[in-house]
Structures are given as structure tokens and as C-alpha cells.
Amino acid sequence: MKQIDKPWGYEIWWAETERYAGKILFVKQGESLSLQYHNRKAESMYCLEGRAQLTLDDHEILLTPGVAADIPVGVRHRLLAMEDTRVVEVSTPELDDVVRLEDRYGREGTSAP
């Protein structure tokens, strides 16, 4: 396992294989991930604790403990923490497939994890 600090909190990578990747995201209250999409990577999120708004293209899902959401390839998405939030994210293994459209931390563009 490894922990990677992010401007919005941190990620704990608990699995990285040829078939999937698993992370726990901790997002601080009021912080958000980039508005982004993926060309090859599909993701699923499951909220462990907290409350967050997950935007998927033009609709929103309220993530609370026990709520899960799938994020298909090509869907624009962003997670905004309404309170400190912990989410399990499982995805296909293309971890460098991130196209950032908007980012409050100055990380727009295509980048690695």
C-alpha cells in the first residue's frame, strides 16, 4: 500500500494489478477532485463515510455511506466533499488516463496520477 498526498486530501492505493486498481480517497470538506474524464478507464465509487456530491455529465448523485456509483468511460465527473469523505474507488488499470477539464489546483490537461 502507498499513500499519495493530494491538494484535496490523499489517496491510499491498496491494489494495482493488470486487471484493476483499488484506492481509498479521503477528500476534505469543501474540497473537490478535478472535473475530468477518461478515454479508457472506467471507475466505481463506494462511499464509506461522509457526504459528497458526485457530478456525472449533467446529473448529480449524493454519495453517503453505503451509496455506490459507476463512472463509465468518457463521462465527465467531479467529486465535491460536503464534509470529510472517504470513498473506495475501484477502476480498470489505466491510472494515467486522466483528462482534466477544470481544476481549482491548477492541474488542467492530461496527466499521470
Number of helices (H), then strands (E), in the chain? 0, 12
Residues 72-82 have pLDDT tens digits of: 999 999 999 99
Q: Place 46 in a pLDDT band, splitting at 50, 70 and 90.
A: very high
| Total Cβ atoms within 10 A of residue 25 | 22
Looking up cell 483499488, which residue turns up? 22
* Whether residue 113 has pLDDT greater than 50: no
The single-letter code of the amino acid at 55 is T
Please, what are the domains in the chain?
2-111 (2.60.120.10)
pLDDT at residue 111, rounded to an integer: 56
Residues 6-15 have pLDDT tens digits of: 999 999 999 9
pLDDT at residue 107, rounded to an integer: 82
Measuring CA to CA, how many Å separate 15 from each of 20, 28, 51, 111?
8, 23, 24, 20
